[in-house]
Structure 1
Amino acid sequence: MHMKQEEMLDKIRRSAESVPTPASLEPEQMMKKLDQTADDNKSSRNKKSSKKIWGYGGLAAAVLAVCVMTRLPNRALTGAGNPEHGQQEQMLPPEEGKEADQPGSANMEELADTKEEKEYLVSSYEELYDQIQKQASEGCDSVIYDTGMGNILTETGAAPGEAAAGGAALGNMKPDSTKMEVTSSNPDGFSETNIQVQGVDEGDLVKTDGTYIYVSTGDRGKIQIIKAAGKTMEVVGRIGDTSTVRGAKHIEEFYINGQYITVIRMDYGSHATFLETYDLKNPKEPKLLGSVKQDGYYKESRRNGDYVYLFTDYYAEMDAGKDEIERYVPKIDGSVIPLNCIYLPETPSGTSYLVASSLDMKNPGQVVQSKAVYSEGDQFYVSQSNIYIGNMSYDYKATQYDYTELLKFSYKDGKISFYGHGNVDGYLNNQFSMDEYEGNLRLVTTLSHQSGQQTNSLIILDNKLKKLSEIEELAPGEQIYSARFMGDTAYFVTFRNMDPLFSADLSDPKNPKILGELKITGFSEYLHPYSDGLLLGIGREISPDTGNFKGLKLSMFDTNDPSDVKERDKMVEKTFEYTPAWENHKSVVISAEKNLIGFAVEEYNKDRREWLNQYVVYSYEKDQGFTRRLTHQLAKDRDQSQTRGLYIGEWFYVVEEDKITVFDMAHFNEFGHLNY
């Protein structure tokens, strides 16, 4: 059993000591589920594949097992405040048809400001209860919690919709541009989190503001504040694990915004997520400014300007009585979501809510606005003005049976408004399979057919999520592994035994065209624009004859002519078996200006018969290709998915959970380390 699974079970056991747990969620049952599916989880491409030698010989199209819980969208709203600490939670709902009188709430006219919002309003709590019970009677309540990740496992043990970070979509492009600003570097001379959309920050476990490095210690629930002045480092302050809620130790992610830090914590015992905001004006003594509690497991978040947007999954209790509204309607700071803020789709499925809230980091005592959608969200794409949520669903009566329900919200300065609803055939590989451009949403999806074959589609929707165009039947027998949208051009990778890198012209949204198809060995799981006319791929080398895994692969593609893309250079690291970069774009630091590409890897040493964790840094020159500049040994027998590389000025820092090592960037010589 993997270390992550052991940690997961430990969390469940600790939580079970103080919280009544349904029989299906008892630790022993969780252990059985994990043991039954351990082999499947090891080989699933949507799971971490550490210490697993990959083979792709005779790879067949995936056969989807019938999921116990299918999922479809719904919509809901809320405005809620933050009661004073120590005040007992208010469990009573507001009167039906009446807005709750609570800080931060808006009136009905402000909330339901589009016809779509009004159309999907639930008429009563009774209607909502009846709908939930209907879904439960159809067998939609058999799920187990993956407490390590905050997701849900079906009876097969898989987390539908969970996928690798195969590419980053472009969010802030000029109409005629085929370039993208590098999102992991800063003009002030320090690296930032590698994000999807320029101007829309994503939470992470390590961040820097150019003066301090902030490091989460994960399950220990602390954030270390480290002053970094070249080779000199010292811990100057920390944020502890008992600031507001003793049960909410685990830190999921956090954000830095000037002198403010917002920390996202999970309390696995109460299945609730907390937003804690601190003033860092004096980093030696961080001052708590406010805390907000939101029901549900942490799912996703974003920051735009001063506002953090939080998304959680909340599961209704199936055995709740009709009058026990607080057991099947989510709460913000102890107050259930008002009736006139709850939305249902035409054909809801599943028993979960997606709860979305916004928080002003400079005024964090209460949420600005919240909405709860009666649906689970699988994939989240957030542009500078809209939020798109994809939800994978199934229709087994159809010959092509998987599809994605889409929700669209507009947002600005903390206000969230429901904007549209639609669906497309197939499932999304990850959040980067979506991209907004000139008001349209572009997507690439993989479709599963009852024949057992898979195909792929390129789809363009208008601003109301109505289909403008579609290219179907792409790469039969293959599935999408990564995508990159760059202005009027899209690049996406499919794979079976060879890696076709497709390029498509999207300049006419009603008539997109495939420009080219480059076939090479292996495939890229992450695509990133490196500099003008160059596209970086991080993936796997695969033997076209046997399908066997041959090592980690770096590719540099020449995209100056999108109709004739070429693999200009490649490097295959035969002993590297795994990297978090395949799954999490935030684990990679890339800067063409600094000429560096850095990420953690796992290497199997055959001579010593052991696994080694390392951090590696590469440079790239057009006349020399890739060069490995740094190989730094990391702690053994530890999950390195949190390890990050970052730079401040001309110094490079490798940040582990309990240690930072500093190197000069001229020669990557080690100049010291700091334990904390």
Structure 2
Amino acid sequence: MKRIILAIIIIGILLVGCIQTNQQDQQNQQNMQYPKVENFIVFNSKDEMKKYLQSSSSSPFWFEFGGGVVRGDVVLDVAYPQAVPKSGYELYEEKSLPERVSETNIQVAGVDEPDIVKTDGINIYFSQVRYFYLFWEKTIPNGGKTKIIKAFPPEDLDVKYEIKKGGQLLLLNKTLIILNHDTIYGYDVSDKPVKMWDIELNGSLVTARLYNDKIYLITRSTIDYYEPCPIKPLTYNGESLQIACKQIYHPIYPIPVDVAYNVIVLDPKTGDVVKAVSFVGSSGLSVVYMSKNAIYITFPYREDVVKIYYNFMKENEDLFPKEVLERVEKLKEYDISNRAKYVEMQVIIDQYANSLSKDNRLKFRNELWNRLSKYYEERKREIEKTGIVKMSLNLDVVANGEVPGRILNQFSIDECNDYLRIATTVGMTDTTNDLYVLDGKLNIIGSIKDYGKGERIYAVRFLMDKAYVVTFKQTDPLFVMDLSDPKNPEMKGELEIPGYSSYLHPIDENTIIGIGKEGKDVKISLFDVSNPEKPVEIDKYWLNEYWSDILNTHHAFLIDEKHKIFFLPASKGGYVFSYEDNKLKLVKAVNVPALRAIYIDDYLYIIGNKVVVLDENSWEKVNEIDLV
């Protein structure tokens, strides 16, 4: 039976929990002058950037950082807009306003994330899109349409307007932002939707956040190795936004590079660029986490493969004749790229192997593979790392650091009281998992290593002074770890549970919902974690569904604490579960292929190819409309 590891880590150094800074603190941070980060320097010329790219091209991953917004050859100094927005409700009569409106399920309270459904409590904005999948990550949707649906009061349910563009949505008052994979649109939706602006991306959109009336975009641009700069991440009003060579930063050590990541702040009302920075990294591998204090961008990389092979050969001289070692030693002095050196090293080793008899060649190759595997296993934390860059909300580089291993997604990272917590998987075949605590300068101050050996992380959730980590393998211990002393973490408890959870949602500090799979079915678990030494799966429910969109995105999950229910969308229908009295109970099933749900007052709106409205007091259907 397939099982999971759910690791609960008590981070005792944060006894008072994560206290959000107030507006004055955030304003002070924006005005703060940060010291220069010594590990990042600018390119002095295009030739210098080309040389850096050449030296970085052999590594599997890489990163670079850029700052300064340029149109043509002029660097733009731009300031954040100071206008105070009006409430989104001011356009409606006060008597018609609902008292309760759900929000998108997000990671950090107040930092909004794009999704296919948004609501202002009166209207529902729903983008019917086609999704594309890359490995385990859902990419930004492409195509489709966006419907504006009159939702409240429910008896007036109707499609009001349709926009011929689709994508993920952000909503600020009566400004609707549609984020497609290659274009961003801004619409005034105070009445009939009117397009105010659009931006063409010269690349693709990675993610976005909406905070303090600003949009933070992260885009990805392909690197031209012959003309690497200026970087041109977008086109607006017929002009290319350009970032010149001397405004592009990079780490002092070479790491793998094939794309540029651009962090761009936009005014949502006008589409104007407020500020931007760029960095280079590996396509499809960087993860973005944004708190109310900072933006963290990660980039995975490996130690220089030539250096790894060379050190291995020096430690295993009995495998190679003297002339092979001398040729490899001389190779280090060649003024060629690391990729070329790696190819030459392989040629040298292959030439030696081919000079052997068939029997000796077979023995050599097996011995080489065996020793290389052991060498990597002993040094995997030195070889495979995740670099981290911390930026202020003004896009100043504040700190940089690194941890061993690779991270799963944004939930693998969490900031709390100026500490950063990050969970990683280390290794490719013989995997293990670590959790690290870093200080404000991104220095590691504490860690828990080697839990879930032979597995990889499937889900992570940080909650105040605790962390919950799910790993997947054939057995299923639930690890409980205490980090009261960050330098001496201690294992506290263990539990075995079947299946795996790929999304964890805290109900309160003692209870967590886990949604994942067991065998072919979607499984829902209810965990009591009040006693770290004895975590308990107090209830579980197997749903006769193969898949739920919650397994792809946390945005598909909805919880209504007033009615003690949560919503789970699936291919056959939408399901409403009660968690009252620590029991999982299916209270309502609606035969609609569901994608999302929201609540307005005491009405639950299930959204898919229809919108079905349920009265949460009786669970009777109130209204419905077709969207096909």
1:246-257 matched pairs, under 5 angstroms: 251-257=166-172
Correspondence for 1:339: 245
Query: Whole-Å Cα distance in 2 between the matches of residues 212 and 513 of structure 1?
Result: 50
Query: Whole-Å Cα distance in 2 between the matches of residues 304 and 117 of structure 1?
Result: 29
Local SS of the residue matching 2:246? helix
Match of 2:398 among 419, 422, 436: 419
Deviation by residue 1:311-358 (Cα, 9 ceiling, x = unmatched): 11111234xx44x846x6545531321233211122131210111101
1:112-511 matched pairs, under 5 angstroms: 114-116=35-37, 119-135=40-56, 138=58, 188-218=99-129, 219-228=142-151, 229-241=153-165, 251-266=166-181, 273-282=182-191, 285-318=192-225, 321-322=226-227, 325=229, 330-331=233-234, 333=236, 334-345=240-251, 346-362=253-269, 364-376=270-282, 378-395=286-303, 397=308, 398-399=376-377, 400=380, 401-411=383-393, 415-448=394-427, 452-511=429-488
Deviation at 1:496, TM superposition (A): 1.3
1:614 aligns with 2:525: no
TM-score between the two structures when normalised by the length of structure 1: 0.65
Read off the aligned partner of 1:572 and give its amino acid letter.
Answer: W
**Does the Cα contact within 8 Å between 1:135 and 1:351 map onto a contact in 2?**
no
Correspondence for 2:85: none
Correspondence for 2:508: 531
Local SS of the residue matching 2:220? strand
**Does the Cα contact within 8 Å between 2:3 and 2:473 map onto a contact in 1?**
no
**Does the Cα contact within 8 Å between 1:533 and 1:560 map onto a contact in 2?**
yes
Match of 2:534 among 561, 564, 569: 564
Query: Whole-Å Cα distance in 2 between the matches of residues 670 and 57 of structure 1?
Result: 38
Deviation at 1:276, TM superposition (A): 2.4
Alignment CA distance shift 1:464-1:384 (3 Å) = same
The runs of 5 or more residues in structure 2 that have no matched partner are 6-30, 62-96, 130-141, 309-375
Query: Whole-Å Cα distance in 2 between the matches of residues 473 and 254 of structure 1?
Result: 40
Deviation by residue 1:460-515 (Cα, 9 ceiling, x = unmatched): 11111111112212222222222222222222122312333333334444443333
**Does the Cα contact within 8 Å between 1:498 and 1:523 map onto a contact in 2?**
no
1:627 aligns with 2:551: no
Deviation by residue 1:134-190 (Cα, 9 ceiling, x = unmatched): 555x4979xxxxxxxxxxxxxxxxxxxxxxxxxxxxxxxxxxxxxxxxxxxx99412
The runs of 5 or more residues in structure 1 that have no matched partner are 1-54, 60-109, 142-185, 242-250, 267-272, 542-548, 603-612
**Does the Cα contact within 8 Å between 1:111 and 1:417 map onto a contact in 2?**
no
Read off the aligned partner of 2:425 and give its amino acid letter.
Answer: T
Deviation at 1:124, TM superposition (A): 1.2
**Does the Cα contact within 8 Å between 2:219 and 2:233 map onto a contact in 1?**
no
**Does the Cα contact within 8 Å between 1:530 and 1:536 map onto a contact in 2?**
yes
Query: Whole-Å Cα distance in 2 between the matches of residues 500 and 491 of structure 1?
Result: 13
Deviation at 1:114, TM superposition (A): 4.0
**Does the Cα contact within 8 Å between 2:98 and 2:601 map onto a contact in 1?**
no
Correspondence for 2:622: 671
**Does the Cα contact within 8 Å between 1:554 and 1:572 map onto a contact in 2?**
yes
Read off the aligned partner of 2:384 and give its amino acid letter.
Answer: D
After superposition, the CA RMSD in angstroms is 2.9
Alignment CA distance shift 1:647-1:117 (3 Å) = farther
Deviation at 1:528, TM superposition (A): 0.8
Deviation by residue 1:246-281 (Cα, 9 ceiling, x = unmatched): xxxxx3311111122222123xxxxxx333222222
**Does the Cα contact within 8 Å between 2:232 and 2:241 map onto a contact in 1?**
no
Query: Whole-Å Cα distance in 2 between the matches of residues 226 and 473 of structure 1?
Result: 50
**Does the Cα contact within 8 Å between 2:144 and 2:167 map onto a contact in 1?**
no
Deviation by residue 1:626-651 (Cα, 9 ceiling, x = unmatched): 1112222235xxxx6xx111111121
Local SS of the residue matching 2:48? helix
**Does the Cα contact within 8 Å between 1:379 and 1:390 map onto a contact in 2?**
yes
Deviation at 1:517, TM superposition (A): 2.1
Correspondence for 2:333: none
Deviation at 1:550, TM superposition (A): 5.2
Query: Whole-Å Cα distance in 2 between the matches of residues 507 and 439 of structure 1?
Result: 17
Correspondence for 1:581: 550
Local SS of the residue matching 1:127? helix
Alignment CA distance shift 1:668-1:58 (3 Å) = closer
Query: Whole-Å Cα distance in 2 between the matches of residues 518 and 568 of structure 1?
Result: 12
Deviation at 1:113, TM superposition (A): 5.8
Deviation at 1:56, TM superposition (A): 4.6
Query: Whole-Å Cα distance in 2 between the matches of residues 135 and 619 of structure 1?
Result: 53
Query: Whole-Å Cα distance in 2 between the matches of residues 294 and 528 of structure 1?
Result: 34
Local SS of the residue matching 1:524? strand
**Does the Cα contact within 8 Å between 1:222 and 1:238 map onto a contact in 2?**
yes
Alignment CA distance shift 1:383-1:187 (3 Å) = farther
Deviation at 1:117, TM superposition (A): 7.6
Deviation at 1:115, TM superposition (A): 0.8
1:554 aligns with 2:531: no
Correspondence for 2:12: none
Q: Aligned pair count?
A: 474
Query: Whole-Å Cα distance in 2 between the matches of residues 187 and 491 of structure 1?
Result: 35
Alignment CA distance shift 1:673-1:331 (3 Å) = closer
**Does the Cα contact within 8 Å between 2:4 and 2:471 map onto a contact in 1?**
no
Query: Whole-Å Cα distance in 2 between the matches of residues 550 and 581 of structure 1?
Result: 16
Local SS of the residue matching 1:498? coil
Of 304-313 and 531-540, the range deviating more from structure 2: 531-540
**Does the Cα contact within 8 Å between 1:301 and 1:310 map onto a contact in 2?**
yes
Quick check: which has more Rg, 1 or 2? Answer: 2
**Does the Cα contact within 8 Å between 2:4 and 2:475 map onto a contact in 1?**
no
Query: Whole-Å Cα distance in 1 between the matches of residues 524 and 244 of structure 2?
Result: 51
**Does the Cα contact within 8 Å between 1:652 and 1:665 map onto a contact in 2?**
yes
Query: Whole-Å Cα distance in 2 between the matches of residues 671 and 192 of structure 1?
Result: 22
**Does the Cα contact within 8 Å between 2:420 and 2:442 map onto a contact in 1?**
yes
**Does the Cα contact within 8 Å between 1:489 and 1:503 map onto a contact in 2?**
no
Correspondence for 1:43: none
Query: Whole-Å Cα distance in 1 between the matches of residues 450 and 221 of structure 2?
Result: 36
Deviation at 1:435, TM superposition (A): 0.9
Correspondence for 1:20: none
Query: Whole-Å Cα distance in 1 between the matches of residues 465 and 509 of structure 2?
Result: 15
Read off the aligned partner of 1:560 and give its amino acid letter.
Answer: S
Local SS of the residue matching 1:501? coil
Query: Whole-Å Cα distance in 2 between the matches of residues 517 and 188 of structure 1?
Result: 43
**Does the Cα contact within 8 Å between 1:441 and 1:465 map onto a contact in 2?**
yes
Query: Whole-Å Cα distance in 1 between the matches of residues 254 and 150 of structure 2?
Result: 53
Read off the aligned partner of 2:388 and give its amino acid letter.
Answer: L
